[in-house]
A and B are shown apart, each in its own frame.
Chain A
Amino acid sequence: MKLQRQQLLINNFFMFIINCPYCGERDQTEFTCHGEAHIARPDNPSEISDEEWGRYLFFRENPKGTHFERWTHDHGCRRWFNVMRDTVTDEIIKTYKMGEAKPVISNE
């Protein structure tokens, strides 16, 4: 895993440039992070329990490592998209459009 990441860094020449799925590579300062992604709003809020609603409202992952987040390109196209980021290294592994499936993490 470590080796793979190191290679990733070198191959992507990663330098906090974020690849907006709509605009291409832009400086990090143009973007805002909005926390965890792939939390769907319940379809039937009135039917679910307080606990379930509470989970949707308040419970968020805080992983050490790969994390999926929603970001916006505020000083650009103003579009929302998803980002797969490593919370330890700040490496942005992948960006993808809203509605696209969550990428699968390979451990090797």
Chain B
Amino acid sequence: MSNQNRTIYGGKVNREKPINFIFNGKHYVGYQGDTLASALLANDVHLIGRSFKYHRARGILTAGSEEPNAIVQLGLGARTEPNIRATEVELYEGLEASSQNCWPSVNFDIGAMNNFLSRIFPAGFYYKTFKWPPSMWLFYEHFIRKAAGLGQSPTAKNPDRYEQKFYYTDITIVGGGISGLLAALGAGRSGCKVLLIDENPELGGYLLDYNFSINEKDGKKWLKKIIDELNSLANVVILKRTTAMGYYDYNYLTALEKVTNHHVEFSSTLPRERYWRIRSKKVILAQGAFERPLVFADNDRPGIMMASAGQKYLSRYGVLPGKSVVLFTNNDHAYLTAFEFVEKGAKVTVVDTRDLLNAKISEKCKSLNITVFNSYSVIKTYGDKKVNKIEIQQVDKDQNQLIGEVEDIQTDCVLMSGGWNPAVQLFSQSRGKLKYDLKINTFVPDKIIENQKIIGSNNGQFNLQENLNESFEAGIAAANELNFNSVEKVNWTGKEEIEFTHSDVEPYMLGKKKVTKGSKHFIDFQNDVTAADIFLAQREGYISVEHTKRYTTTGMGTDQGKTSNVNALALMSHIHNKPVDEIGHTTFRPPYAPQTIGAIAGRSVDKLFDPERKTSMHEWHVENKAVFEDVGQWKRPYYFPQNKEDIHQAVKRECLAVRNSLGILDASTLGKIDLQGSDAAKFLNMIYTNAWSKLEIGSCRYGLMCNEHGMIFDDGVTSRLGENHYHMTTTTGGAARVMSWLEEFLQTEWIDMKVFCTSVTEQWAVLSVSGPNSRDFLKDLTNIDLSKENFPFMKFREGEVCGVKARIFRISFTGELSFEVNVPARYGRYVWEKFMEHGKKYNITPYGTEAMHVLRAEKGFIIVGQDTDGSVTPSDMNMDWIVSKKKEDFLGKRSFTRPDTIRHDRKKFVGLLVNDKKTILPEGSHIVEKALKQPPMKMLGHVTSSYYSPTLGYPIALAMLKDGFSKMGEQVVVPLMNGKIIEATVTDTIFYDKEGRRNNE
């Protein structure tokens, strides 16, 4: 039989629209408008999952986002999501969900034996048992983690799209219940830009479930009119199915909007979720309150739920969760639910902890045939997979003792109401201070820090009449404070059959009675924390709330203790006989509810995580099987393997091609900055360590940049193109940093200097041809005179190359005769292909960054960031030759004479040659004074670059070595990770063509 618990009429589900879904492999039918929880209840499914620690049978406790018990694994495959609250899942056709934390099935769960062993699993069990010996923890942890944990993470990549939205507004209102709606109306009518956020699919909150009247007329119709007006206001944006997750400084809120989660078909145009980042001038919190459970033995059985949840299932979904119902309450308001249940055909018994009952309620109970037990408490419940019997007993006047006979009541549903807790999570995240309200026995907002208002039951105000007018006026006042005109106030008269008054919540905590051994009074349902655990924590000295929380894990589940925190604190207050205010509360942290990581990542995934930069020749490299490496964001060819070459063979061939004939490198990624202005030379004099005033037009010069600490931070060649026009190159990875550095000084220090810097990195494709045949090769392709006399080393010429306008720089990073041909980026591939074709007769060889590194190391050219690390001066690098002695000032100069920079024992840049002529020292290896069996060993320095040199036929290395310049020719030792100790000789850094003849050819 399907939908056996569904009422014949009533509720907002569409009985004409059945929806098929699967739970634990079984097919069910619900209706349009159902949640997974309401549809399961309608089909008389009460056992939803097993609890975290004891594997106890658990059902549905609430009907909203605070649900601790009914959490399921939703969806299949890559889209499966764990720990989803069944109470929030809107039913869609084909939905598949299953129970968590049970094996082999929810009905027969092996882990449930933990329940019977619970005497040996109290709070702190794991801490005590697995603490010794400490080294074993990792071993234990593996099994504990396996046994604990709730749902399963998907193992495949999530195929969905998530988006982020940045939003600015005058007022953000969190919560679309009556308070939020009226505040939105007040602010909306004033003309404010309003954003209203609500986590439910339907606005109205609490009032959707209860009967009430406005101005003596049906409240539901009035509610609809309010919502219609809000929808018609262009300045009011309403987000449904959106949960405010975090509240950060200055009214910065994050919110997660479920866009297509409630559809089975995932949209190709819409994201699954949208993550909102909201900045608003004002925030109004109107999140309402959560009903508080009562604490009694075995209060966790399926079939026991909050009274407000029962009300919601009945009035909104037309589901009667039980036919023989017990209401266990400490307040008047919950009687509304008893009346509603009787009206829909249930038999209701009320157990009320208070001795006296309001006459009006008492009368109505009589007329509806409701038996009321005053001054009674539920003391125990029975039922394996669903509650079937409870025991009640009278409580004495002070609620200290249970007295009289124990009576049994047969039941199939227990509704409980222990009062209400304002949802202060976001308020508390915004640093708002809370105070304990003794009248309603809960924490309420006290001191507001942000530019914010908090209204309605979220502020501890539960009376409908008060809320109507206060909320509307709060909206108007907020708009007013933002300088919007006031609108007229409205006086509504709102009535509920039973008014909520502050005085009717009797503090009822079982703490005053002894916690009976062997039964469990649950405080935190999700984490299986019982009252006995709280007692134990206090006995063992975990008295601070933060310690109690961590020792017992109360409030640490995915529900973050929304239903449990206040009860735990009240119990602690009782144990220590101190006011709850003095006990305090734990810190509320974002997110308010579990959220997908995908939404936080948004579109910043895969290729959009970090942009890839490619040169205009990139596709040619791909087609020619280049192996790439990342340099900053650039993709650069690492080497170009031919046939079945490995990296060593390829690099060797590439290096030898450059030394013996002709190589070509895509150097487009080099940073390029165009400098213009009448003070450009003056500026370069300050930026670089060497002198620039006398550089002629058409000449190039290598320069080092230091920071003010005197440490090298970039290098490159800058050329003078015209009177006041320079072309600067930087390292590939340092381009942006250098650009910012130049701008910093131009904008903050020398603001009168007339210099403009423009990044032209991507405007030029750079083809560096290098090798003894490069002149012969290039001369056929250009109208520029390449002769040694007319185009010497370190000069620059403009002309045409392959018919394309080009700049050629005669500079060299390989030590060979080289020409760096710059053409507009869009011609890069064209010219490259022409070069490859024309270069055949010289066996032109494309080479990658690895060969480039080897070639420059053979020449002892530094790579900033590899051989230097931000702690070395030009002098340390043996580059005094590039530091001007004549210049009065330049960045870093003054620091060269600081005591620390003139120390003799600083690490200096040297070459190393291994004595065995074959070991390639790993880069980063330590150079030590004396090799010992094991560390520590006194360190003298480290290897910065190390390669096999194909030109020389043996390995070479560059290193930073303490006082290295005076150690030339000496022996050092390098212990390797594999235990070998390598001996090496200290040399200078130039291994090949020491005179530098080759690049001057």
A binds B: yes
Q: Which residues of A contact B (CB under 8 A)?
A: 9-10, 13-17, 27, 34, 40-42, 44-46, 48, 50, 53-54, 56-57, 70, 72, 78-80, 90, 98-99
Contact of A90 among B249, B708, B889, B893 (CB under 8 A): B249
Chain A hits for B995, CB < 8 A: none
Chain A hits for B166, CB < 8 A: 27
The CA-CA distance from A72 to B739 in the complex, in Å, is: 13
The CA-CA distance from A41 to B707 in the complex, in Å, is: 13
Task: Answer whether residue B744 sits at the interface, using C-beta atoms and an 8 A cutoff.
Answer: yes
Contact A41 B749 (CB under 8 A): yes
A-B contact pairs, 10 of them (CB 8 A): A9-B451, A14-B451, A15-B251, A15-B280, A17-B168, A44-B889, A45-B889, A53-B894, A53-B898, A80-B743
Chain B hits for A13, CB < 8 A: 170, 281-282, 451, 482
- CB-CB under 8 A for A80 and B748, given A13-B482, A27-B166: yes
The CA-CA distance from A67 to B112 in the complex, in Å, is: 60
Q: Which residues of B, 160-177, contact A by the 8 Å Cβ criterion?
A: 166, 168, 170
The CA-CA distance from A14 to B280 in the complex, in Å, is: 9
Contact A45 B893 (CB under 8 A): yes
Contact A98 B751 (CB under 8 A): yes
Q: Which residues of B, 438-472, contact A by the 8 Å Cβ criterion?
A: 451
The CA-CA distance from A54 to B889 in the complex, in Å, is: 16
| 8 residue pairs, one from A and one from B, having the closest CB atoms | A45-B894, A13-B281, A80-B747, A15-B279, A16-B250, A15-B250, A80-B748, A15-B251
Task: Answer whether residue B895 sits at the interface, using C-beta atoms and an 8 A cutoff.
Answer: yes
Q: Which residues of B, 620-675, contact A by the 8 Å Cβ criterion?
A: none
* Residue with the highest number of chain B CB atoms closer than 10 Å, among A9, A15, A34: A15
Task: Answer whether residue B936 sits at the interface, using C-beta atoms and an 8 A cutoff.
Answer: no
Closest B residue to A78 using CB positions: B743
The CA-CA distance from A50 to B747 in the complex, in Å, is: 27
Contact B895 A16 (CB under 8 A): no
- CB-CB under 8 A for A98 and B279, given A13-B482, A15-B250, A53-B898: no
Contact A10 B747 (CB under 8 A): no
Chain A hits for B251, CB < 8 A: 15
CB of A75, distance to nearest CB on chain B (Å): 12
Contact A98 B481 (CB under 8 A): no
Closest A residue to B710 using CB positions: A57
* Residue with the highest number of chain A CB atoms closer than 10 Å, among B170, B279, B748: B748
Contact A46 B893 (CB under 8 A): yes
Chain B hits for A14, CB < 8 A: 250, 451
CB of B286, distance to nearest CB on chain A (Å): 20
Q: Which residues of B, 806-858, contact A by the 8 Å Cβ criterion?
A: none
Task: Answer whether residue B702 sits at the interface, using C-beta atoms and an 8 A cutoff.
Answer: no
The CA-CA distance from A48 to B282 in the complex, in Å, is: 52
Task: Answer whether residue B888 sits at the interface, using C-beta atoms and an 8 A cutoff.
Answer: yes
CB of A66, distance to nearest CB on chain B (Å): 17
Chain B hits for A45, CB < 8 A: 889, 893-894
- CB-CB under 8 A for A99 and B898, given A15-B280, A80-B743: no
Query: What is the total of A-B residue contacts with beta carbons within 8 Å?
Result: 65
Contact A99 B889 (CB under 8 A): no
Q: Which residues of B, 874-905, contact A by the 8 Å Cβ criterion?
A: 888-889, 893-895, 897-899
Closest B residue to A56 using CB positions: B708
- CB-CB under 8 A for A46 and B894, given A15-B281, A27-B279: yes
Q: Which residues of B contact A (CB under 8 A)?
A: 166, 168, 170, 249-252, 279-282, 451, 481-482, 708-709, 740, 743-744, 747-749, 751, 888-889, 893-895, 897-899
Closest A residue to B898 using CB positions: A50
Chain A hits for B280, CB < 8 A: 15
The CA-CA distance from A48 to B898 in the complex, in Å, is: 11
Chain A hits for B252, CB < 8 A: 15-16
CB of B868, distance to nearest CB on chain A (Å): 19
Contact B481 A10 (CB under 8 A): yes
Contact B744 A80 (CB under 8 A): yes
- CB-CB under 8 A for A46 and B751, given A9-B451, A15-B251, A15-B252: no
CB of A74, distance to nearest CB on chain B (Å): 8
Closest A residue to B282 using CB positions: A13
Contact B889 A46 (CB under 8 A): yes
Chain B hits for A42, CB < 8 A: 894
- CB-CB under 8 A for A57 and B744, given A15-B250, A15-B281: no
Chain A hits for B170, CB < 8 A: 13
The CA-CA distance from A48 to B893 in the complex, in Å, is: 12
Chain A hits for B744, CB < 8 A: 34, 72, 80
Chain A hits for B748, CB < 8 A: 70, 80, 98
CB of B856, distance to nearest CB on chain A (Å): 32
Chain B hits for A70, CB < 8 A: 748
Chain B hits for A90, CB < 8 A: 249-250
The CA-CA distance from A16 to B170 in the complex, in Å, is: 14
The CA-CA distance from A55 to B249 in the complex, in Å, is: 34
Chain B hits for A53, CB < 8 A: 894-895, 898
Closest A residue to B747 using CB positions: A80
The CA-CA distance from A18 to B993 in the complex, in Å, is: 57
- CB-CB under 8 A for A46 and B898, given A15-B281, A57-B709, A70-B748: no
CB of A102, distance to nearest CB on chain B (Å): 14
Contact A57 B708 (CB under 8 A): yes
Chain B hits for A41, CB < 8 A: 708, 749
Closest A residue to B893 using CB positions: A45
The CA-CA distance from A56 to B707 in the complex, in Å, is: 13
Contact of B751 among A16, A72, A99 (CB under 8 A): A99
The CA-CA distance from A1 to B166 in the complex, in Å, is: 33
Closest B residue to A16 using CB positions: B250
Chain B hits for A10, CB < 8 A: 451, 481
Chain A hits for B743, CB < 8 A: 78, 80
The CA-CA distance from A89 to B170 in the complex, in Å, is: 21
The CA-CA distance from A69 to B237 in the complex, in Å, is: 37
CB of B512, distance to nearest CB on chain A (Å): 44
The CA-CA distance from A45 to B249 in the complex, in Å, is: 42
The CA-CA distance from A53 to B901 in the complex, in Å, is: 13
* Residue with the highest number of chain B CB atoms closer than 10 Å, among A10, A42, A44, A45: A45
Chain A hits for B894, CB < 8 A: 42, 45-46, 48, 53
CB of B869, distance to nearest CB on chain A (Å): 19
The CA-CA distance from A99 to B746 in the complex, in Å, is: 12
Chain A hits for B740, CB < 8 A: 72
Closest B residue to A48 using CB positions: B894
The CA-CA distance from A98 to B751 in the complex, in Å, is: 8
Contact A98 B747 (CB under 8 A): yes
The CA-CA distance from A53 to B252 in the complex, in Å, is: 41
Contact B899 A50 (CB under 8 A): yes
Other A-B pairs, 8, CB within 8 Å; known A45-B889, A53-B894? A13-B281, A13-B282, A13-B451, A27-B166, A42-B894, A50-B897, A57-B708, A98-B747
The CA-CA distance from A48 to B249 in the complex, in Å, is: 44
- CB-CB under 8 A for A79 and B249, given A13-B482, A46-B894: no
CB of A20, distance to nearest CB on chain B (Å): 13
The CA-CA distance from A8 to B748 in the complex, in Å, is: 29
CB of A69, distance to nearest CB on chain B (Å): 12
* Residue with the highest number of chain B CB atoms closer than 10 Å, among A14, A46, A48, A80: A80
CB of A51, distance to nearest CB on chain B (Å): 11
The CA-CA distance from A27 to B164 in the complex, in Å, is: 15
Closest B residue to A45 using CB positions: B894
The CA-CA distance from A13 to B751 in the complex, in Å, is: 33
- CB-CB under 8 A for A16 and B481, given A41-B749, A45-B889: no
Contact of A16 among B279, B747, B749 (CB under 8 A): B279
Closest A residue to B248 using CB positions: A16
CB of A87, distance to nearest CB on chain B (Å): 13
The CA-CA distance from A14 to B250 in the complex, in Å, is: 7
Chain A hits for B451, CB < 8 A: 9-10, 13-14
Chain A hits for B482, CB < 8 A: 13
CB of B903, distance to nearest CB on chain A (Å): 13
Closest B residue to A37 using CB positions: B748
* Residue with the highest number of chain A CB atoms closer than 10 Å, among B281, B481, B888: B281
Chain B hits for A9, CB < 8 A: 451
Contact B889 A16 (CB under 8 A): no
